[in-house]
Amino acid sequence: MPVHTTPFLDFQLIPGSAESFSHGYEPTIENPYDPGERPFNYPAFWRLFFYTGITLADTVWISVSMIILFFIGVFLFPEKLSVSGAIGMLLVVFSPAAMLLYERGNADLIAFFICAVAVFAGSYSAYIAAFLIAFGTIVKLFPFFGVSILLKEPKNKFLVLFLCCFLVLVVYMLATWGSVVAAWTTTARGGTISYGTNVFVTRFEPAISRGFSQWFTPALSSLLLKYGSLIAGLVLLLMMAIPALMSTQQPETSSERNFAAFRLGASIYVGTFLLGNNWDYRLAFLVFVAPQIVAWMRSASRLYLILAWISMVLVLVSCWHLWISIIPLDSIIHSWRDVQKFWDIFDEVMNWLLFASLAYLLFASVPEWVKEIPQNIFSRTGIHRQPHEDQNRPVIP
């Protein structure tokens, strides 16, 4: 576990930037009061803390409060939680990836709590849930992917709420575009303890670049290095989406809230995966998918049973990779560098497989009115819906 000697290092950027601001500095340019003098790269919302008078001395109590809120969220969102579902959640919550989130005191702790409250509130009011997703978007942007929890609503209501959330995202990004660009360009892109479409390129860019240079022009090689992994991710997403949307089989579920939590967690993983590089602490959001996936592991449908088992194994492997990667392979691989390369490739394969499995389950679980759109399009080309033995099973829309 890569523990840092400075406690709650990620959160220290906020009070450190607040101190720099109070002393007349612009933290996005010069940030001398941050322990690492890092440029401030949080969304504009977090600049509100510059006016609260917080200092680095407030780091511990605020970070501990955020961790407490995280665990309140963990207990808040599940419904009808089975013993096996609770075990699945605990294996994510206490995984090395989640421990990294607590140890760094990252602001994703707050984003998680907002998402958990949104899932809980969705059982009572779609409008409150949509408001919380919009608020989470302002706090950290990526919670916007959680708008998928609103898919349980009727078509017209979902479209209205989705457009409202999307409008918040667009207006907020346009109003704070300088902050968004600064956050995107100054945030460190992890090559280790990270997941996302671009992580493989980040890890092995020299070797990939040499390979491309033998086959392509320098200009094309540069484009492939920059966008090739994203294109690969989008192609894989399409490969999962088409059969899932063409299937008439809807997944059974006994808990509307756990189903909504799955949609949120899967959407955040799939969406952030496509964004490029994400530190592994964001894998803590996979706790949202655990209760429903564990329930599907007992599904009467062979398809969902198999996919659920595969997905749960991949979730745990990804979350526990930091420990798995210390398994000694000296008797098989004699070079330490080769061992590290093996585990890096292993982690990448597991992350991409998890992306594929969650994407399929996510698209397969959308309501019928969503599936009818591609099904009508493909039916005109002679491609018909795929029948399944469970297509008449009652489900929660």
pLDDT of 390 higher than 80: no
pLDDT exceeds 90 at position 41:
no
How many structural domains are present in the chain?
1
* 269 falls within a domain: yes
Does a structural domain hold residue 43? Answer: no
Residue 99: pLDDT over 60: yes
In a domain, 84, yes or no: yes
In a domain, 251, yes or no: yes
Give 397's pLDDT tier (boundaries 50, 70, 90).
very low
Q: What is the pLDDT of residues 182-237, one digit of tens each?
A: 777 766 666 678 999 998 888 887 888 888 778 888 888 888 888 889 999 999 99
Cβ pair 141, 123 in contact under 8 A: no
Is the model's pLDDT at 331 over the cut of 60?
A: no
The structure's pTM equals 0.90
Share of the chain above pLDDT 90, in %: 62
The predicted pLDDT at position 332 comes to: 62
- Residue 231's domain comprises 67-158+193-379
Residue 285 is assigned to a structural domain of this protein: yes
Q: Is residue 171 part of a domain?
A: no
pLDDT at 257 over 50: yes
Pairwise CA distance, residues 277 & 284, whole Å: 15
The 3-class SS string of the chain reads CCCCCCCCHHHHHHHHHHHHHHCCCCCCCCCCCCCCCCCCCCCHHHHHHHHCCCCHHHHHHHHHHHHHHHHHHHHHCCCCCCHHHHHHHHHHHCCHHHHHHHHHCCCHHHHHHHHHHHHHHHCCCHHHHHHHHHHHHHHHCHHHHHHHHHHHCCHHHHHHHHHHHHHHHHHHHHHCHHHHHHHHHHCCCCCCCEECCCHHHHHHHHHHHHHHHHHCCHHHHHHHHHHHHHHHHHHHHHHHHHHHHHECCCCCCCCHHHHHHHHHHHHHHHHHHHHCCEEHHHHHHHHHCHHHHHHHCCCCCHHHHHHHHHHHHHHHHHHCHHHHCCCCCCCCCCCHHHHHHHHHHHHHHHHHHHHHHHHHHHHHCCCHHHHHHHHHHHHCCCCCCECCCCCCCCCCC
Percent of the chain with pLDDT over 70: 90
Q: Is 59 contained in some domain?
A: no
What does the pLDDT average to over 293-311?
Answer: 92
Q: Is residue 166 part of a domain?
A: no
Q: What is the pLDDT of residue 17?
A: 94
The whole-number pLDDT of residue 391 equals 44
